[in-house]
């Protein structure tokens, strides 16, 4: 488990937090957001998400120029597709991307965004409930997994992971440890 989440609030990383409800993903995302010193945009799971309720809600027209930390709502795939051309020099957090990304192959625009994220200085932290919610193509761009307890199978994206056998073992260990500590997680590089 990471003791210093400040280290994960910089570095043009594409990180995905995977775990079932109530494992602490939103809490970790909030800690990363609070540690971040620059611009940050949060896409909450829905308008009722309390973890990020203190952030001002901005419109698409404000995304490219806002200062500080804010939130933007994405309800469907097209919302995220419209958002990505406006993203640069920021931390991007999504508390649950299943409404706008899960199960889809990324559009050409979104694919280009994921590929170019380092050049436009965007750190990405997305949360999902398990491996099956992550579009298979995206596994190739993920730098880091934060693995929380999940019953979801890693097999779906196995052929796109750098070291799937090690990841499967770690997931089994996390699930075992979570019996005593439901908030336990491990951080694993996808290399």
153 has a pLDDT exceeding 80 = no
- Residue range 79-101, pLDDT digits in tens: 999 999 999 999 999 988 877 77
- Residue range 115-151, pLDDT digits in tens: 999 999 999 999 998 888 888 788 888 999 999 999 8
Q: What is the strand order of the sheet 14-18 is part of?
A: 69-71, 40-43, 90-94, 122-128, 14-18, 144-147, 186-189
- Residue range 168-182, pLDDT digits in tens: 888 899 999 999 999
Structure tokens, 127? 């949360």
Cα 109 from chain centroid (whole Å): 18
Break the chain into its structural domains and give their ranges: 5-189
Q: For residues 191 and 189, give the distance between their C-alpha atoms in angstroms, rounded to a whole number.
A: 6
pTM equals 0.89
Among 27-31, 76-80, 130-134, the minimum mean pLDDT is found in 130-134
Cα 115 from chain centroid (whole Å): 15
Instruction: Return the CATH number of the domain spanning residue range 5-189.
Output: 3.40.50.300
Structure tokens, 7? 């280290």
């Amino acid at each position: 488990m990471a003791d210093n989440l400040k280290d994960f609030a910089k570095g043009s990383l594409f990180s995905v937090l995977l775990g079932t409800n109530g494992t602490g993903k939103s809490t970790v995302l909030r800690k990363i957001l609070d540690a971040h010193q620059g611009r940050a945009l949060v896409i909450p799971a829905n308008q009722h998400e309390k973890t990020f309720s203190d952030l001002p809600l901005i419109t698409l027209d404000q995304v490219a120029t806002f200062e500080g930390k804010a939130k933007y709502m994405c309800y469907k795939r097209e919302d995220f597709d419209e958002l990505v051309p406006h993203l640069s020099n920021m931390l991007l957090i999504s508390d649950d991307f299943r409404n706008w990304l899960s199960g889809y192959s990324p559009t050409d625009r979104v694919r280009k965004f994921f590929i170019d994220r380092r050049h436009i200085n965007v750190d990405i932290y997305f949360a999902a409930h398990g491996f099956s919610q992550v579009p298979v193509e995206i596994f190739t761009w993920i730098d880091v997994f934060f693995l929380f307890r999940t019953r979801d199978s890693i097999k779906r994206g196995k052929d796109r992971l750098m070291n799937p056998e090690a990841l499967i073992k770690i997931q089994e260990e996390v699930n075992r440890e979570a019996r005593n500590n439901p908030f336990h997680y491990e951080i694993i590089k996808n290399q």
